[in-house]
Amino acid sequence: MITLGDYLIVSGILFVIGFAGVMLRRNLIIILMSLELMLNAANLSLVAFSRFRVDSTGLPDYDVQVFVFFIITVAAAEVAVGLAILVALYRARQTTDVKDISSLKF
């Protein structure tokens, strides 16, 4: 029997992988992909919550699933904007390595 805990563990592993990717990888595209991974980890745990929160009529809690749809939509928009910025940045700097993009400091 798969419990809520198992879903959450998988979700946590996905989130940590995503976070590690954002922290450690240098390529901006990979970082964006890792971000998506973190968002989907969150989606997974939300869906799991929905599934395991059953009310008296035997139906799952759909409010949470609506929330997940919103996240998917926003993530799509974010990727569009993010990739556009990335292209613009590449045109300006000829690089997508975050080590070279460090002028935002004193």
Please say which residue, 60 or 71, places its beta carbon nearer to other proteins.
71
Count residues near other proteins (CB under 8 A).
Answer: 12
Smallest gap, in angstroms, from Cβ of residue 65 to other proteins?
Answer: 25
Structure tokens at 61: 């809690």
State yes or no: residue 85 binds other proteins (CB under 8 A). Answer: no
Smallest gap, in angstroms, from Cβ of residue 31 to other proteins?
Answer: 8
- The angle at the Cα of 69, spanning 64 to 75, to the nearest 5 degrees, equals 125
State yes or no: residue 77 binds other proteins (CB under 8 A). Answer: no
Contacts of other proteins in 15-74 (CB under 8 A): 19, 22-24
Contact with other proteins (CB under 8 A) among 1, 59, 92, 104: 104
* Distance between CA atoms of residues 2 and 28, nearest Å: 36
Smallest gap, in angstroms, from Cβ of residue 85 to other proteins?
Answer: 13
Residues of this chain that interact with other proteins (CB under 8 A) are 19, 22-24, 98-99, 101-106
